[in-house]
């Protein structure tokens, strides 16, 4: 039973892409509040380490979010879900538009847009009628940063779906968190010296004076799942980096 200190007790939260970064931190926040948490990812090793770090009533299931049959089997076997968080990522599809490889852009859509859409559709029959869904998009959806038109398209397409889905699927609540730059393993692909310089530069131009941490986004996700009067919202979690400065 849920109590003030354990608001998610008796509830099952599924975090797709919960073995690292933002998803893992969100899973930890729900587990700390008494939820039974199921995290998913492709790598068994990453899942096992994350389950150990998160603790509580957490289990890890290997599911590739781009595989419709695997998703259907996963949700059918799991049964009822109270809250769904979709944090699967992809990195393809960025770069200057003139030379953008459209196969790479399509791969980016597969890894993020289609993966999140497939997860939501597969989960729907198993979601509690008045439960919640939180998608993780990206601030690139509404920024104007050269080289990010592809990422803007992928994340913007997801963000555009949030308001109509919130109405169509009600009383299920549908929201998204749109993070700015967050220091997670997603950035491991950038050499560490280059990454530090990038983060320092971004911190200097961000109102809160730093880049984000996974816990920052986890708190936003937790709030959207917990607050039963919020739906159809895309919540920016950027430290103010996306605010128009008039420059
Ligand atoms: N970090 C940032 O600066 C930032 C900024 C804006 C938006 N975001 C968004 O935030 C979300 C989480 O990113 P993150 O930074 O936390 O990344 P991350 O640390 O790389 O974590 C990604 C998670 O998704 C899983 N995953 C990836 N592809 C998957 C697939 N096909 N099927 C199942 N699981 C999959 C990964 O596990 P496996 O690899 O083992 O499958 C991992 O658990 C992403 O949607 C990302 O685009 C991040």
20, 66, 92, 152: which to mutate for ligand 1, most atoms within 8 A of CB? 20
In the chain, what are the domains?
A: 12-184+213-230 (3.40.50.720)
Q: Is the CB of 145 under 6 A from ligand 1?
A: no
Which residue lies with its CA nearest to atom 24 of ligand 1? 17
Q: Is residue 90 scored above 90 in pLDDT?
A: no
Which residue lies with its CA nearest to atom 45 of ligand 1? 89
Q: Whole-angstrom Cα distance, residue 132 to residue 150?
A: 28
Q: Is the CB of 19 under 6 A from ligand 1?
A: yes
Query: Which of 116, 94, 118 shows the shortest CA–CA distance to 104?
Result: 94
**Dihedral-angle region of residue 148 (phi above 0 means left; psi in -120 to 50 means alpha; beta otherwise):** alpha
Cα separations in angstroms, 66 against 3, 16, 69, 74, 109 = 37, 11, 9, 13, 10
Q: Each residue of 31-43: pLDDT tens digit?
A: 999 999 999 999 9
Residue 247: predicted pLDDT:
61
Angle CA(208)–CA(141)–CA(216) in degrees, nearest 5?
A: 35
Separation of CA 24 and ligand 1 centre (Å): 10
Q: Is the CB of 172 under 6 A from ligand 1?
A: no
Q: Is the CB of 115 under 6 A from ligand 1?
A: yes
Q: Each residue of 173-189: pLDDT tens digit?
A: 999 999 999 999 999 99
- Mean pLDDT, residues 156-177 taken together: 98
User: pLDDT grade, residue 7 (50/70/90)?
Assistant: confident
User: pLDDT grade, residue 115 (50/70/90)?
Assistant: very high
């Amino acid at each position: 039973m849920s109590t003030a200190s354990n608001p998610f007790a008796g509830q099952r939260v599924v975090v797709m892409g919960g073995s690292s970064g933002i998803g893992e931190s969100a899973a930890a926040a729900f587990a700390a509040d008494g939820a039974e948490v199921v995290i998913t990812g492709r790598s068994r090793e990453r899942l096992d380490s994350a389950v150990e770090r998160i603790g509580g009533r957490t289990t890890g299931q290997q599911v590739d979010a781009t595989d419709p049959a695997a998703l259907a089997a996963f949700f059918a076997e799991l049964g009822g879900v109270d809250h769904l968080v979709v944090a699967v990522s992809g990195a393809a599809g960025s770069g200057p538009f003139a030379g953008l490889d459209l196969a790479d852009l399509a791969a980016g859509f597969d890894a993020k847009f289609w993966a999140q859409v497939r997860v939501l559709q597969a989960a729907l029959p198993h979601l509690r009628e008045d439960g919640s869904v939180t998608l993780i998009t990206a601030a690139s959806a509404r920024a104007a940063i050269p080289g990010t038109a592809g990422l803007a398209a992928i994340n913007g397409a997801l963000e555009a779906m949030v308001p109509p889905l919130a109405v169509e699927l009600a009383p299920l609540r549908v929201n998204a968190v749109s993070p700015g730059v967050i220091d997670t393993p997603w950035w491991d692909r950038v050499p560490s010296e280059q990454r530090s310089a990038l983060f320092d530069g971004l911190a200097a131009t961000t109102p809160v004076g730093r880049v984000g941490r996974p816990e920052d986004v986890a708190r936003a996700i937790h709030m959207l799942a917990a607050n039963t009067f919020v739906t159809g919202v895309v919540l920016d979690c950027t430290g103010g980096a996306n605010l128009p400065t008039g420059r």
